[in-house]
Amino acid sequence: MRKGKLFPVASPYSVISHRPDYRIQATGEFRCPNKEEWFISGAIPEGYQAPNDLSTPYYIGKLVKVKTTVVETVIEENIKKWEREHFCLPCKYHFTKEVEFSEFTQNLSGEKTTFCPKCNKRVTMSSPAKEV
Ligand SMILES: [Zn+2]
């Protein structure tokens, strides 16, 4: 077991486990836990506190407080353009069109209103924009 690895506090310790910022951190030791020491156990490993000195060896842990941080990673660069599929309800024409933006639009998104290239009516059914 990797030293420093974090495990949830097992549910019997509801006072602690209901607080999402507490974890049991592996110390790297594997031995019999002493009374009140935390250890890691279970098919889905969680942290338990020894009610007395135990005679079975476990991975030892300690109670720590954590802070969750969201990490944003760029997974793709050079995004070129977006397009949507449109379906014209009046004339049943199906077409794909690049998403265009305009300063002169009533759409909150800033997206230019799409008109059907066949009948020139406003398009009423459109798919979510997808990268192309
Ligand atoms: Zn149409």
| 2-39 pLDDT per residue, tens | 899 999 999 888 778 777 799 999 999 999 999 999 99
Q: Given this model, what pLDDT does residue 25 score?
A: 97
**Dist CA 124 CA 116 (whole Å):** 9
Q: Given this model, what pLDDT does residue 16 score?
A: 80
The count of other CB atoms within 10 Å of the CB of residue 39 is 24
Q: Given this model, what pLDDT does residue 117 score?
A: 93
Helix, coil or strand: residue 22: strand
Distance 125 CA to ligand 1 centre (A): 11
Distance 121 CA to ligand 1 centre (A): 6
Rounded average pLDDT over 119-123: 89
Q: Please indicate, yes or no, whether the overall pTM of this predicted structure exceeds 0.75.
A: no
Distance 59 CA to ligand 1 centre (A): 68
* Tens digit of each residue's pLDDT (9 = 90 or more) over 53-101: 999 999 999 999 999 899 999 988 887 788 899 999 999 999 999 888 8
**Dist CA 28 CA 67 (whole Å):** 22
Distance 104 CA to ligand 1 centre (A): 23
